[in-house]
Amino acid sequence: MIFSSPYFLFLYFPAVLLLYYISPLKWRNLVLLVVNLIFYGWGEPVYVLIMFASIAIDYSHGRIVTRCKASGNDRGARMAVASSVVFNLLLLGFFKYYNFIAGSLAAVGAGFLPVIDSLPLPGGSIPFTLPIGISFYTFQTMSYTIDVYRGDARCQKNIITFGTFVTLFPQLIAGPIIKYKDLDDQLEHRDHTVEKFASGVQRFTIGACKKVLLANALGPLWDVYLATPGDRLTTLGAWLGIVAFSLQLYFDFSGYSDMAIGLGRMLGFEFLENFNYPYISKSASEFWRRWHISLGSWFREYLYFPLGGSRVKPPRMVFNLLVVWAATGIWHGASWNFLLWGLYWFVWIGLEKLWLGRVLEKTPAWVCHIYGVVIAVVGWAIFAVEDFSAMGPYLAAMFGFGAGALDGDFLYYLRNYLPILVIAIAAATPLGKTVWHKLPQRARQAAFPMLMLAGLALTTAYLVDGTYNPFLYFRF
């Protein structure tokens, strides 16, 4: 649907910008709150009520924490934080995991929880679906109350300002996950300059090109191999398919992150980066310092470090990693493959922290790069193939236990997709940026506007004519 694509932003955002900039400065947060809620309500209007509940609960709990700390009632402050965390986790757990848990119990003969098809409302009912962006905004609001208790963020007394933070639509549905303390000052005072606005337009255009011209172009190749029966998968074919998915996912998600950062700049905000060329990593640990940076940072700060982090004895550190990576897997979706994917990363990162990391430090860099890429790509096979009956054959084919090494289909798809694969692989590394900065400054100044216009024109043309436009992180 239109909401799940950049097409919606191309239609909606110019009107938002016009309304935002003609409004007086003191009204701009209110304007943003209103347009944020309209944007969110476009997907399923009734779920705006959940957004209101999240805003009200965490706003009020932030005020309670502040009053308790001011009066020396630390126990009351801690109880308020716990209450906020429990509310957010219950909200996320019910909508994201209830049916998964009910279905899993029914599968083992303990079906005492009914599967919910619709939610009853006074005026009828609505389908039981996942509220858009709930995994992102519940983490954001949770971090607010915790940071207020820690003294890392000040309590926000203006509910309009707080609501603007929770609903900020550029990053609402796909991140980056914004912590309140990183946006606190900008919510009150932010710069609106021509240079910042132009930078935002450029970043938005780059993100749209990554999503529409690269991710969407690679998606059909992965769809072909995902639909291929396990007994027909060849080794090279399976690798070709999962490499296509790995690149598609990167350009889909990093493209949306770039668009969010660009839209934020046009509104005067500066969001933190969410990706840093993850496929050049030389270890599993480095990959997760470069991939979905805001999620990794959130789990480190609010789960891993409170558990004790790495400054504990090895058995405890392993337990801490197990908890964090199980949670990371489950955060991505209500399916057993996501939990398995999280545990897969737990194994590799745990091994690196215990002894493998020291081995990698003495290993040639090119070997480490191959190791890092292979670990990531195999992990994406677990992530992408949700059906366990298909996952085993797919992984088996990748490691030589399929229908041979290659076939005519592989050669056909490789020949047809080779140009876009080469472009995508190069674009997933700093190669283009390095070459660009080696060009004379005058040449860059002349070429850059034309490249941006060409990218925007191609992206718009594709969206108008194309029908294939999946949003891989929409369900999270």
| Active site amino acids | 332
Task: Check: CB of residue 169 under 8 Å from CB of residue 267.
Answer: no
CA–CA dist 147, 138 (Å, integer): 14
Find how far residue 184's CA is from the centre of its chain: 22
Helical pair 216-226 and 408-427, crossing angle rounded to 10 deg: 140
CA separation for the pair 257, 60 (Å, rounded): 30
Pull the structure tokens for residue 337.
């493959």
| Burial of 136 from C-beta contacts in 10 A (0-12 / 13-18 / 19+) | buried
Question: Tell me, what DSSP letter sits at residue 272?
Answer: P
How far is C-alpha 349 from the geometric centre of its chain's CA atoms? 20
Residue 377, class by beta-carbon neighbours within 10 Å (0-12 exposed, 13-18 middle, 19+ buried)?
Answer: middle
Query: Count of CB atoms within 10 A of residue 271's CB?
Result: 24
Contact partners, residue 273, CB within 8 Å, separation at least 6: 176, 257, 261, 293
Distance CA 421, CA 217 (A): 9
Q: Which helix (H) or strand (E) holds 126?
A: strand 124-127
Give the containing element (helix H, strand E) for 127.
Answer: strand 124-127
The amino acid present at 78, given as its one-letter code, is: R
What size, in residues, is the chain? 476
